[in-house]
Each structure stands twice: as C-alpha cells, then as structure tokens.
Amino acid sequence: MEKQELVKRYIETLISSPINLVGYDNFEEAYHFLYIDSTLPMKAEDLGQKFIDVGTGGGVPGVFLAIEFGASGFLIDSVCKKIEYVKNKCEELKIENLEFLCIRAEELKDKGPYREYFDSAVSRAVSKIATVLELTAPYVKVGGKILLYKGPGYTEELGQSVNAMKELGVKLSEVRKYTIKGKDRFLIVFEKFDKTPEKYPRKVGIPEKRPIR
C-alpha cells in the first residue's frame, strides 16, 4: 500500500474509533494536525533505526513516523484499550515496523532491556518538558535524540527544565518552528550526551507531581 493511502486509512480508523483517541472527527483537520504535525518537522536521521513513543495515545506521532520514515517504533501508553485498538488497526493495515506495550513509562525500566536502548524518543501532548524528559531520557542511547512536540508556551517549560536536563544527561540541541494551518508549532530537539542515573525514572506519578527542579 502506498504511504499516502496508508496514512489516509489510518486517519479514518482514528476519527471513526468507538473510543476517544484523538480530538478530531473531520478528516482534513486530522490530516493536518495529526499526520502533518507529526512528520513535517521531523527528519529521518532524527529517529535512527528504532524509536520509542511515550504516551502514544492514538498512535500519534509514532504510527505516522513509522509509515513516513520506515523506522521501527515501540509505542507505549498506560491506557490499554487505546494501545489494543491501535495495535489491531496497524496489524489490519499491515504496518509491520511497530511494537506496542500497555505500560507506564516509569515501569518500563523493569520490563526488559530498554534502558538506553533506543536511538530516539518522541512524545506529543503528554506533560511538561521536565516531566517528559524524565520519562524518555533513560531509554535513549548516549548520542541519541529526544524530540518533543510543543505549542507556543514551550519557552516557560524549557526554562523550568534546566536542572532536569543536567540531571538526566541531555542538552537542548535546537528548536524547529513550523506552522500548521496558521498555528505555530515547535519541535524541541534534545541530545543525550551522558548516561542517565539509574534512579530515573522515579516511581509512577512522581515525575508528574514533582518534576526535577
């Protein structure tokens, strides 16, 4: 199946889903704010060969990145019915370069050899930057990237993340600004320059309640 046909079919499964996966029921809006938003600021070399999508929800951005760039994605979310739905639909569409797991990011470190395993991590609409860095950095290789999708309010979050970056072994690499249907969007790109201490991520809920300051 051609890429664009796959994208079309997948978007249709999202907007017609019996469970609330995305905030769109109009195809054109979903196409721009899900698919284009996921792929426009991204480069194939950002992802490497394998990436993790933390808090994937309806498979955004992970499914679209896997289709667009051919990288292998590992998509996790704590809501099992979402992961099951996305997994089943991807199997139906024969999108084969994806794996799925219903789990909290804080618990993944105890479930397999995932620490510093992935070339990159992506996350969209999950939490503030300091929290998401704690949930992603432990699983990215030294030299890999963490790529977070944000709106215009990212600057304050970034300012509050300075200590988290130092503690987790990551640094800001660049900010890519782009526009979707007149709305400013930003891809915040971090590079992992050092190993993340073993104590991270902390127990479930702590990164959200008490971000590293």
Report all structural domains of the chain as residue ranges with CATH numbers, in order of start: 3-209 (3.40.50.150)
pLDDT in tens, 174-197: 999 999 999 999 999 999 999 999
Q: Which of 6, 27, 5 is nearest to 16 (CA)?
A: 27
**Full DSSP string of 11-40:** HHHHHT-SS--SS--SHHHHIIIIIIHHHT
**For the chain, what is the mean pLDDT?**
95
Binding site feature residues for S-adenosyl-L-methionine: 55, 105-106, 124
Structure token pair of residue 75: 């998509």
From residue 151, give the alpha-carbon distance in Å to each of 3, 118, 124, 130: 27, 25, 10, 15
pLDDT in tens, 118-167: 999 999 977 899 999 999 999 999 999 999 999 998 999 999 999 999 99
Q: Are 56 and 80 in contact (CB under 8 A)?
A: no
Binding site feature residues: 55, 105-106, 124
Structure token pair of residue 147: 């790529």
